[in-house]
């Protein structure tokens, strides 16, 4: 589940806001905020799209995790998923195979998020 946005690393591009399939973030002028943590599916798409390594998603998909800024920096995990899966090397075959398999799950999550939002805001 999304755990931390490192505001001092964030350039405010809002790529994470645009790519999140379940609308977890709200855009701001500086760094996005985690507005709907319960909607996070732990898909890591926000981490993948963050070119500045300013987002840390904790591996527990069922519960929010409190992490310390310094511990995350020291862990070496920032940007690791992107590096492990070749996200920065799009010309290499096979680098996105695992994420392509997530397609149906992400679509289902996005549909669930739309239904939740509709119910919470008075829709059907």
Q: Write out pLDDT tens, residues 64-120.
A: 788 888 998 899 889 888 888 777 766 665 555 566 566 566 666 666 667 777 777
Report the percent of the chain where pLDDT is more than 70: 77
Which positions ≥6 away from 42 have C-beta within 8 Å?
A: 1, 2, 57, 58, 59, 60, 61
Looking at residue 13, its pLDDT comes to 95
Average pLDDT over residues 24-33: 94
Average pLDDT over residues 37-51: 91
d(C-alpha 70, C-alpha 48), whole Å: 21
Looking at residue 122, its pLDDT comes to 75
Range of the domain at 18: 2-120
Q: How many domains does the chain have?
A: 1
Looking at residue 64, its pLDDT comes to 79
């Amino acid at each position: 589940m999304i755990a931390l946005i490192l505001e001092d690393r964030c350039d405010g591009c809002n790529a994470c806001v645009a790519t999140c399939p379940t609308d977890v973030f709200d855009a701001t002028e500086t760094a996005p905020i985690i507005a709907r943590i319960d909607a996070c599916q732990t898909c890591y798409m926000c981490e993948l799209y963050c070119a500045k390594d300013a987002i840390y998603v904790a591996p527990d998909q069922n519960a929010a995790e409190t992490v310390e800024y310094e511990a995350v920096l020291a862990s070496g995990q920032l940007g690791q998923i992107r590096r492990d899966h070749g996200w920065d090397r799009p010309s290499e075959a096979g680098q996105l195979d695992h994420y392509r398999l997530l397609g149906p799950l992400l679509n289902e999550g996005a549909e669930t998020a739309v239904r939740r939002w509709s119910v919470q805001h008075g829709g059907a």
